[in-house]
Structure 1
Amino acid sequence: MTPYREILRLHSQGISQRNIAASCVCSRNTISKIIQRAEEIGLRGRPKTK
């Protein structure tokens, strides 16, 4: 199962797509599609807390 929340969380922290793919054991193409689709529908990652 693809860890969508984890992918978006890592992306919101500025982690590269290559590193996200390695961490989540998904292809870079999958990561790119998930991020693109999330941006299309207006999803945002959690705000960074201090």
Structure 2
Amino acid sequence: MQNMIHEEATRQLSERGYEGFSLREVAEGIGYAPTTIYRYFRDKDDLIF
């Protein structure tokens, strides 16, 4: 699951830049609820760094 989240976040980051994406959009991109993302990462800084 974390790998799938990272891949989608990386894709969105490269397309939109740091300010241009959110964890909600990452969740939508992989077909999961945003709460699923928050089980693994507390915010997008935690996901990216």
Q: TM-score, normalised by structure 1?
A: 0.45
Q: Which has the higher contact order (CA 8 A, sep 6+)?
A: 1
Greater share of helix: 2
Larger radius of gyration: 1
